[in-house]
């Protein structure tokens, strides 16, 4: 399952990225998304001008009956973001999420793009669940969970920018 979500921020791409690459912001964002446990494993500039962010989190979800043989109510995952060096008015990242012990692969790209009055964050990705017969339904379930989390992250980011800019 492929997806493309867009989120608006009333700040420049540089300001949005500065927020997104602060360990204290990342910790507070994970807390705001109701992660049960979370950690910022790595948050550092790369020699090429890029930036690497690695986080772990444990989340809880209400698992529908058709998915209970594949997913547990509590799930640990690791998210890795590899941001490129900034270019004029934009910055891009490759990202992936590894869910421990489940047959799911998730990854894609994120781009911060300057627009009149701020920034649009484009999050593009693919969710693949390797389970015969119900894989498509499971992908939709995973996307719905991820979309809810992305929405909470965006709302938190907007509040953070308003309070810290």
Taking the mean position of all CA atoms in its chain, how far away is CA 113?
Answer: 17
For residue 84, give both structure tokens: 């490129």
Quick one: pLDDT at residue 87?
A: 82
pLDDT at 32: 96
Q: How many structural domains are present in the chain?
A: 1
Dump pLDDT digits (tens) for 73-111: 999 999 999 999 988 778 999 999 999 999 999 999 999
DSSP 70: T
Residues 72 and 76: their CA atoms lie apart, in Å, by 10
* pLDDT tens column, 130-158: 998 899 999 999 999 999 999 999 999 99
Over residues 117-131, mean pLDDT: 96
Whole-model pTM over 0.75: yes
Confidence class for position 128, pLDDT limits 50, 70, 90: very high
Q: Which domain holds residue 150?
A: 2-164
The DSSP line for 72-112 is -SEEEEEEEEEEPPPBTTEEEEEEEEEETTSSEEEEEEEEE
Q: What is the CATH number of the domain that holds 17?
A: 3.30.530.20
């Amino acid at each position: 399952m492929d997806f493309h979500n867009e989120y608006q921020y009333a700040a420049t791409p540089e300001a949005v990225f500065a927020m997104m690459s602060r360990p204290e912001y990342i910790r507070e964002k994970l807390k705001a998304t109701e992660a049960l446990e979370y950690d910022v494993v790595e948050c550092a500039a790369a020699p090429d001008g890029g930036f690497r962010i690695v986080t772990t989190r444990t989340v809880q979800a209400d698992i529908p009956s058709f998915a209970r043989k594949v997913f547990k109510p509590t799930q640990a995952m690791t998210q890795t973001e590899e941001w490129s060096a900034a270019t004029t008015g934009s910055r891009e990242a490759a990202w992936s999420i590894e869910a421990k012990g489940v047959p799911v692969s998730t990854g894609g790209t994120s781009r911060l793009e300057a627009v009149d009055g701020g920034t649009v964050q484009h999050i593009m990705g693919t969710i693949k669940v390797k389970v015969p017969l119900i894989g498509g339904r499971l992908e939709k379930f995973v996307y719905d969970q991820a979309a809810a989390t992305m929405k909470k992250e965006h709302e938190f980011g907007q509040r953070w920018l308003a309070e810290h800019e």
